[in-house]
């Protein structure tokens, strides 16, 4: 059954435009309260990132939850994975995150975690949507929910992150630059990495409500690369606005993406006998990572793009590690969701264990050139059902053999067909990508 409001990662949009409005968030809080309230002492956690609209939506959600008789524990600015962790350890009925992740400040969104710290099942989201289409009612005057702030939320999460690497590891000789994207990790990440012993230089940690993800963080790691070189640091850590993405920079200023980081963690787990199940990537995962894992004897499974789908395959195949090249990295042997800080700590642990630099560790995997061309369409079209397009795809796949890959997919949000080709030779891949894009245009009359 199609959901009316929930997408693959909660509800998201531009602030002030439906559904990201104060009145909708009031009703969403009430609907969630109706679904989750079982006993008079039940409560949900509500946390947010640093965008200015978070104040408004925090208040609206609190009012709606209170009207439904649900208690609210407010966390203030807190990384999304931190909210997932606290939802689980504080035994909350659910966790609610006010964030648009890596998007600009003028967007915002809502996502939920279950009491286990995982994404909500579809049936619960359907139940919330059922109440969203009903008129708001208020519990009797003796039964409204109560709200309070959790003052030690940041400290609890900092200790949890530190505990995901052995306390015996010594990071005292490691110099880091951390870019917090002016987001929810600004008051947490610097403490985590300095408390495990590293020398920390922090950038992107002065949020003002509108500078979140603004030319900084995991989506724009160039500023971090410059800072790493300027400070002659061993590595750089770029997080996004809500702390669930990680991109790193090595001592040479070279960007290390999610695929390379997942490979490093997978090899580390394998070397110490802790790797179980396959690694789960997505349709966009680099073929070089697949071939690198194959050489280690580790299977790669590909999910649809989106960490929700990565998680589904991990659970289905009993895997512990997965993610996306954008920097969503899920270490299920350490936590329940994608976590940029925890993923960075795992990479740092491998640097200490092996004595190798981040540059050396990432060089063990050969990334293949990957060229993406977007073809605009007048309406959404499924390229898989077009015979002439598929004939051209098969011809290119035959020429590439096992050393390349072709991917065509319709955008989920725009009238576009994304043409992606990867292989060992960049010039060949580029030529094939533009050739196939031209054939797609011809076939659809673009």
User: Please, what are the domains in the chain?
Assistant: 11-150 (3.40.120.10), 168-256 (3.40.120.10), 257-367 (3.40.120.10), 370-444 (3.30.310.50)
Classify 286 as helix, strand or coil.
coil
Q: What angle do CA 238, 11, 247 make, to 5 degrees?
A: 10
DSSP string, 347-385: HHHHHHHH---HHHHHTTS-PPPEEEEEEE-SS---GGG
Q: Of the ranges 56-70, 115-129, 403-417, which one carries the lowest mean pLDDT score?
A: 403-417
| DSSP three-state, residue 14 | strand
Identify the H or E element spanning 70: none
The two tokens of residue 445 are: 């009359």
Specify whether the CB–CB gap between 366 and 394 falls below 8 A: no
Kindly report, residue by residue over 222-234, the tens digit of the pLDDT. Answer: 999 999 999 999 9
pLDDT digits (tens, 9 = 90+) for 236-288: 999 999 999 999 999 999 999 999 999 999 999 999 999 999 999 999 999 99
Structure token digits, residue 141:
């005057």
DSSP-derived secondary structure for 180-205: -TTSTTTTTHHHHHHHTT-EEEEES-
Reported confidence tier of residue 185, pLDDT bands at 50, 70, 90: very high
- DSSP states of 4-30 as a string? SS-BTTBEEEETTSTTSSHHHHHHHHH
Q: Are 181 and 240 in contact (CB under 8 A)?
A: yes
d(CA 97, CA 109): 8
Annotated catalytic residues are: 101
323-375 pLDDT per residue, tens: 999 999 999 999 999 999 999 999 999 999 999 999 999 999 999 999 999 99
With residues binned 3-state (H G I as helix, E B as strand, rest as coil), the percentages for the chain, rounded to 5, are 40, 20, 40
Confidence class of residue 413 from pLDDT cuts 50, 70 and 90?
low
CB atoms within 10 A of CB 315: 12
Structure token digits, residue 212: 């979140």
Q: How many other CB atoms sit within 10 Å of the CB of residue 441?
A: 15
């Amino acid at each position: 059954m199609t959901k009316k409001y929930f997408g693959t990662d909660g509800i998201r949009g531009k602030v002030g435009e439906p559904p990201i409005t104060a009145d909708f968030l009031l009703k969403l809080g009430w609907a969630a309260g109706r679904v989750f309230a079982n006993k008079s002492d039940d409560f949900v956690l509500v946390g947010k990132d640093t965008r200015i609209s978070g104040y408004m939506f925090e208040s609206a959600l609190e009012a709606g939850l209170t009207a439904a008789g649900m208690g609210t524990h407010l966390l203030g600015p807190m990384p999304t994975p931190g909210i997932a962790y606290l939802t689980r350890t504080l035994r909350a009925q659910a966790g609610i995150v006010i964030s648009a992740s890596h998007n600009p400040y003028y967007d915002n969104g809502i996502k939920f975690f279950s009491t286990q710290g995982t994404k909500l099942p579809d049936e619960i989201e359907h139940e919330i949507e059922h109440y969203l289409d009903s008129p708001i009612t208020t519990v009797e005057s003796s039964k409204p929910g109560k709200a309070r702030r959790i003052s030690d939320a940041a400290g609890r999460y900092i200790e949890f992150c530190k505990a995901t690497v052995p306390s015996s590891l010594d990071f005292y000789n490691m110099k880091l630059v951390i870019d917090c994207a002016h987001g929810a990790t600004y008051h947490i990440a610097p403490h985590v990495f300095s408390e495990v012993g590293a020398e920390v230089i922090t950038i992107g940690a002065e949020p003002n409500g509108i500078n979140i993800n603004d030319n900084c963080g995991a989506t724009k790691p160039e500023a971090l690369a410059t800072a790493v070189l300027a400070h002659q640091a061993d590595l750089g850590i770029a997080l996004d606005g809500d702390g669930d993405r990680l991109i790193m920079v090595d001592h040479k200023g070279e960007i290390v993406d999610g695929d390379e980081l997942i490979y490093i963690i997978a090899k580390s787990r394998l070397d110490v006998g802790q790797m179980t199940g396959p690694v789960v990537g997505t349709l966009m995962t680099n073929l070089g990572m697949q071939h690198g894992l194959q050489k280690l004897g580790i299977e790669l499974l590909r999910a649809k793009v989106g960490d929700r789908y990565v998680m589904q395959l991990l659970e289905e195949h009993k895997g512990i590690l997965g993610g996306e090249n954008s920097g969503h990295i899920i270490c299920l042997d350490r936590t329940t969701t994608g976590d940029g800080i925890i993923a960075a700590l795992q990479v740092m642990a491998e640097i200490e264990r092996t004595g190798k630099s981040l540059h050396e560790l990432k060089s063990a995997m050969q990334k293949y050139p990957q060229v993406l061309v977007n073809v605009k369409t007048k309406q959404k079209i499924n390229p898989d059902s077009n015979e002439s397009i598929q004939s051209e795809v098969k011809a290119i796949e035959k020429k590439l053999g096992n050393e390349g890959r072709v991917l065509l997919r319709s955008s989920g949000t725009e009238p576009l067909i994304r043409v992606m080709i990867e292989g060992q030779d960049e010039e060949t891949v580029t030529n094939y990508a533009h050739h196939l894009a031209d054939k797609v245009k011809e076939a659809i009359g673009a």
